[in-house]
Amino acid sequence: MSEEECCPKFNPKPWDGKVFEWKNKRFVKDKVFTLFFMPINFGSVIKRLNERVDNANAKIPDWLCLSDHTSKFNMDIYLAVDKKIPDAENVTLSGKFLSKVYEGQFGDTGKWCDDFKEYAKSKKLEIKKWYMWYTTCPKCAKKYGKNYVVIIAEVA
């Protein structure tokens, strides 16, 4: 991708209000330093992962990158890949997952999380573990005029 096409335009339809099964879905995992939940080195971590994926001639399905805020100072990220990546922490996720798309400022994250809890409850699903998918960088969100964030949760 060129610099002007940093992040592909996101299509929310396939991800909004969906329940799906993953069986050993491949990801590479890394850590991002955060300061009170705000990512500090996200760009450099993504660049490093992208280089490893490119060097392995692998693909990133749907440009899917899940974020797991484990503390005020750490965020684990899971970048979807189509095969094992050398020199990376390869992990798989399996289970039943619920997704819902939100759009707006990151300051609305608390409201989105509250809404997602109610949404899962309305579907009679219990959230076991959840992730945030920030579908574009801030620069591309501005370029496209939309800041989509997808909450994806493993559910039972």
pLDDT digits (tens, 9 = 90+) for 36-94: 888 889 989 999 999 999 999 999 999 999 999 999 999 999 999 999 999 999 999 99
Residues in the chain: 156
pLDDT value of residue 25: 98
Q: Could you read off the pLDDT of 90-125 as tens digits, one per residue?
A: 999 999 999 999 999 988 999 999 999 999 999 999
Report all structural domains of the chain as residue ranges with CATH numbers, in order of start: 3-155 (3.20.80.10)
Q: Which residue has the tokens 């965020």?
A: 75
Q: What b/e string do you get for 23-56 counting C-beta neighbours within 10 Å, with b at 16 or more?
A: eebbbbebebebeeeebeebeebbeebeebbeeb
pTM: 0.92
